[in-house]
Structure 1
């Protein structure tokens, strides 16, 4: 979910924390249930998925495609194109435009059943390439071992606590095929952790994100900043992990 960059305001209000758990005013159960409630009220549209920034969808997809294609193909160390997982898939915006054209089959996981129901019509003719729709929060989701060539995780890690994110990335790691890839694409804070009470999420800085990736036993093999996004939103970075 895209967010405006409120760093200046939050800096003066001292809302920035050094780790995500320090930002939680309520307990974890409330943190997750508030997010679920928020997404239940969001319309199942591209604009809804992008918090009113539907106009940047093509810029986002084109940047992701350029990034991902560097790793795909035949040969040693290259990532296969058999099966991909779209995490926090919503109505399937990324599945439709990025993953289905590149992979034989795709699975979707999202916490909101209405979005997954909408995906079946939104994905059009290519819907037959989708094998599974999992309605589940990522903190509880268990990818099938060695099933996926690529696990794509975009604009959703802010809905997980630090510990749950580490545990989820570890499970994703075991869900990869040989030479498989985990891609995280998300908002990045300038410093610390910035909570967003509207959708019950946080935005972490790069240092913290790097530390959590390392805790999960993964290496960053490539990292890029998404270009040509509106200036008023957070920077968005894409990380390829193995």
Structure 2
């Protein structure tokens, strides 16, 4: 759901792919490619273009049933490798312990309160396989917490996001700013957590 900025989809996916490929593969500390979870998956844009090309199985979770129904048709034949479609808000969702190599959380943390985000990240940590990663990719404000009256979400600055990650008992192993996005939108940062 690119909010009128559909033209940035390829830039977004290519940036995410380059970021993720730094961690995937064989060898010490590398992350496996067995199973990924797409959080706030919507109709499955990230599942289709980023996760399914890199992982054997992908699960989707989204609070809106209509989006997940659309994902089934949008994913087409690739949908055969989707393990589960979970219709649930992230504040209640409990991912299966030890299932995921990567948990991808993009453009959705602004819909969670600080407490819900911390608790969700703690549950995600338990759902990781050895050397698994939680990836957050989201808008960051320049300072403080900026409410969005249109969709009742918030945009937090990077310092606040990092503090909440720490409260969840996770550490940031890598962080990058997404480049080549329009100047008028918030900066987008990607964080890899373990």
TM-score for both structures, normalised by structure 1: 0.80
Structure 1 residue aligned with 2:122, among 161, 170, 189? 170
Higher helix fraction (1 or 2): 1
CA shift digits 1:77-101 (9 cap, x unpaired):
1000000000000000000000000
Long gaps (5+) in structure 2? none
Q: 1: CA distance between counterparts of 2:26 and 2:5?
A: 36
Instruction: Compute the displacement of 1:197 (Å).
Output: 1.3
Structure 2 residue aligned with 1:109, among 43, 50, 61? 61
After superposing on structure 2, the runs of 4+ consecutive aligned residues of structure 1 that deviate more than 2 Å are none
CA shift digits 1:17-57 (9 cap, x unpaired):
xxxxxxxxxxxxxxxxxxxxxxxxxxxxxxxx111111100
Q: CA RMSD in A?
A: 0.4
Q: 1: CA distance between counterparts of 2:192 and 2:6?
A: 24
Secondary structure of 1:211's partner? helix
Partner of 2:15: 63
Q: 1: CA distance between counterparts of 2:168 and 2:137?
A: 17
Q: 2: CA distance between counterparts of 1:186 and 1:97?
A: 18
Secondary structure of 1:91's partner? coil
TM-score for both structures, normalised by structure 2: 0.99
2:101 counterpart of 1:149: yes
Q: 2: CA distance between counterparts of 1:230 and 1:211?
A: 27
Secondary structure of 1:236's partner? strand
Tell me the number of residue pairs that the alignment of Structure 1 and Structure 2 aligns: 194
Structure 1 residue aligned with 2:150, among 198, 203, 210? 198
How do residues 76-155 of structure 1 correspond to structure 2 at under 5 angstroms?
76-155=28-107
Long gaps (5+) in structure 1? 1-48
Higher strand fraction (1 or 2): 2
Partner of 2:131: 179
Higher-Rg structure is 1
CA shift digits 1:135-161 (9 cap, x unpaired):
000000000000000000000000000
Greater relative contact order structure (CA < 8 Å, 6+ sep): 1
Partner of 1:219: 171
